[in-house]
Structure 1
Amino acid sequence: MTTLQGPAIPRRRLGAELRRLREDAGFSLDQAATALECSTSKISRLETGKGLPKQRDVRDLLRLYGKTAEQELERLLRWARDGAREGWWQEYTKGLGSAEPFMLDGVDKLVALESDASSIKAFAQPCIFGLLQTPSYARAVLSSALPSHGPEEIDLLVELRVRRQKVLSRAEVPVSLHVVFDEGALRRVVGGAEIMIQQFEHLIAMGRRSNVALQVLPFSAGFTRASAGAFMVISFAESVDQDVVYVESQAGSAYLEGDFGVETYARTFDDVSGRALGSLETEEWLISAERSFLTGIDDVGPV
């Protein structure tokens, strides 16, 4: 069975440790690169978890930094092995061309982080959060957002999105998910009434899971700090793995890993969560929204 875990966490752990060892040994990036006869960008990419780690490079760096203890060497080499393996999602994204690069920018990293996450907090707009989309809803969103992609590519991306959702139901500690929906994301009709009915049924069912919490931020809440756009705060089980913020925009995705950026978005999420409907009120809202599509009468009303 293919694991849903990915190489993101071991790469980040390896990179953070290599940077710590380099700084402790008193080497600059340029000095380390000169000693290994490679570019500074190669060392930098390894330290930021973006480069593909090779055991030979790790051995050479540890030798340069004066770290030859067998236990420490084996630990870092294990991270290098785990970080070098291919993520399960790459079979879906390899070879995907795009006339809209902002839509696929960083998708590999996002899926890798989701796969290794212990908890995700998300503010969803202008559409329903990806990990909670039905296949039909996802197909309608992707077809509209990626008009240059053919049906086969869209099918691959829908399949990828559905498989990403398995992190919510995996046997080995499913991801804890807390989503606050901007009301507009739920009111926007995507794909027609039948697709919306199925989507609301799915949201109601998912909201009843013990590891999923859903809230609606009503229009009546007014302008909030989160009104600028969708974002995710991704956390991990091990304290050594820093939280990551994923911010989505038309210009491309951005990842924030520093304390200031992460804390800013964490506070923003707490703010919108505190102003949103509670779990029971949210379920009632979703049931009313589904009913409005079934009857053709909008009885959700202002909140």
Structure 2
Amino acid sequence: MTRCSPTARHRRLMAELNRLRCDSGLSRAEVAALIGSTDTTLWRYETGLTRPKPSDVAALTSVYGVDGEERESLLQMAKEARRRGWWHRHRRALKPGFDSYIGLEAEASAVRVYEPLVVPGLTQTEAYARAVIEAVAPACSPAEIDEKVAVRASRQRLLHGPGDPIHLVAVLDEAVLWRQVGGREVMREQLEHLVRLGALPNVELRVIPFSAGAHAAMDGKFCLLRLPEAADPDLVYLERATRGLVSDDPEEARRYTRMFDDLTALALDEQASTARIARAAEEMT
């Protein structure tokens, strides 16, 4: 894995600083006094509100008795966490919370997504993406729409590299195939693009047919992120009209994982799903 995200490194560093202090048996106030800081500053480090400087992390490792490779790893994490990802310059154009998601997605090894209404952003064509954005953000200027489309296109490089491409499993409600976003020609192009993507070894597309009836995820889309480090928990991303939220609550991750497994069981297999997508594309001709 050669992809590196400041957001993911910051989250990992935050977790390690929490763990080390808890293992030390020291309170935040005691640690802060030893490094000449305040317990509020330490709290901000441990909750992710502030990204500590490498020198701050070096002081903390001395207090916690960390040396050798572990110390060097933490210092490297601190350096990487303070860099700016490519998405940082687009923060004003993004829904609140979505920049955090993009930062984590950039280092994820796998993404599992359920979409009931639209094609997932990682698999959208430019024309389809533009039609979606124009519909959900009608107040945006043409320049703002162009920027949002560009962000979506940049994210899609994850499917093809550089480094190990991300593994995508997308479960789509059949309604996604028939909703004419942008008109028939745009939809045909989009559906044919899905067929091509489905042939990639790191992309799995599954369709839940109308005949499957009601299911547990009918109240909305969700996404599960898996990061490459074994110690990192799976994350859940939930998106609403005004903002997105990344949750690392283990119970919530387990609940959505069970839901995703249930959806996969309801869906057509990969071959039948590809055939259903291709048939919908033909209908758009």
Give the structure-2-normalised TM-score: 0.92
Distance of 1:45 and 1:125 partners within structure 2: 37
CA 1:236 to 1:272, structure 2 compared with 1: closer, same or farther past 3 Å? Answer: same
CA RMSD of aligned residues (A): 1.9
Which residue does 2:222 correspond to in 1? 231
Which has the higher relative contact order, 1 or 2, with Cα contacts under 8 A spaced 6 or more apart? 2
Which residue does 2:37 correspond to in 1? 37
- Conserved 8 A contact 2:3-2:163: no
Which residue does 1:57 correspond to in 2? 56
After TM superposition, list the pairs within 5 Å mapping 1:88-167 onto structure 2: 88-93=86-91, 95-96=92-93, 104-167=95-158
Look up the equivalent residue of 2:237 and give its one-letter code.
Answer: Y
| Aligned pair partner of 2:177 in 149, 162, 186 | 186
- Conserved 8 A contact 1:55-1:77: yes
After TM superposition, list the pairs within 5 Å mapping 1:50-89 onto structure 2: 50-63=49-62, 65-67=63-65, 69-89=67-87
Look up the equivalent residue of 2:164 and give its one-letter code.
Answer: V
Distance of 2:261 and 2:228 partners within structure 1: 20
Q: Quote the offset at 1:105 in angstroms.
A: 1.5
Distance of 2:44 and 2:185 partners within structure 1: 47
* Aligned length, in residue pairs: 283
Which residue does 1:5 correspond to in 2? 4
Give the structure-1-normalised TM-score: 0.87
What is the percent sequence identity of the aligned residues? 36
CA 1:218 to 1:44, structure 2 compared with 1: closer, same or farther past 3 Å? Answer: farther
2:283 pairs with 1:285 = no
Distance of 1:31 and 1:220 partners within structure 2: 61
Instruction: Give structure 1 stretches of 5+ with no counterpart.
Output: 97-102, 295-303
Which residue does 1:299 correspond to in 2? none
Distance of 2:150 and 2:39 partners within structure 1: 38
2:252 pairs with 1:267 = no
Distance of 1:58 and 1:140 partners within structure 2: 46
Q: Quote the offset at 1:48 in angstroms.
A: 3.9
Distance of 1:246 and 1:266 partners within structure 2: 12
Which residue does 1:46 correspond to in 2? 45
Runs of 4+ residues deviating >6 angstroms: none
CA 1:50 to 1:233, structure 2 compared with 1: closer, same or farther past 3 Å? Answer: farther
